[in-house]
Amino acid sequence: MPRSGPRLVEFHFDFGSPNAYFAHKALAGLATRTGATVRYVPVLLGGIFKATNNRSPFEAFAGVRNKLAYERLEIARFIARHGLTRFKMNPFFPVNTLMLMRGAVAMDKQGQLAPYAEAGFHHMWEEPKKMDDPAVFKAAMDASGFDGAALIEATQAPDVKAGLIGNTETSVGRGAFGVPTFFIGRDMYFGKDRLNDVEAVLAG
């Protein structure tokens, strides 16, 4: 895949974010309509939060009257607009995604990030599981056609660990403070609600 250019959109994601799942499901249609290439970049949301002193919306807006109710309304609207009928809130949320995201880096190195991303989002937000439990992770990935044991082993490789750290630091260095974040060249767009802007730029 091309690494940069006007027809490339980078999708910086972490499986732990429901909004990243929503963006993931909408990006295929966007790519088809615009002819753009989508490059998935695995990052660690917890690392981004720590580096930018950010918090999840559930924490940041917990004391703001009506804010979380409106956020849930926007989620419902997005689900309806894109027909995301398979979405289920993960009962184990928040899930520690370190193992999942290291797995994404390992699969990216093997050219298998696309099917792995589909599996990761599926097991987090369609048939939700406690994916930070190694036994659950192994069984889920085995069921999706991967070698779960080999994946767990790969997450401990020094280059995989360094790769996730590097992706996360680079994302923050470019301006990211959460996920989903999109880059078109140097221009950054944050949040699933900016997908219309992303599409307009790509189409124009």
Does 122 have pLDDT greater than 60? yes
Phi, psi (degrees; rounded to nearest 5) at 9: -120, 130
The vertex-149 CA angle with 156 and 128, nearest 5°, equals 95
6 band by pLDDT with thresholds 50, 70 and 90 = low
pLDDT tens per residue, range 88-116? 999 999 999 999 999 999 999 999 999 99
1 band by pLDDT with thresholds 50, 70 and 90 = very low
pLDDT tens per residue, range 133-189? 999 999 999 999 999 999 999 999 999 999 999 999 999 999 999 999 999 999 999
Peptide bond into 94 cis (omega under 30): yes
Peptide bond into 180 cis (omega under 30): yes
pLDDT tens per residue, range 64-87? 999 999 999 999 999 999 999 999
**Is 0.85 surpassed by the pTM of this model?**
yes
Q: Mapped to the 3 state alphabet, what secondary structure does 89-109 carry? A: CCCCCCCCCHHHHHHHHHHHH
Residue 188 DSSP code: E
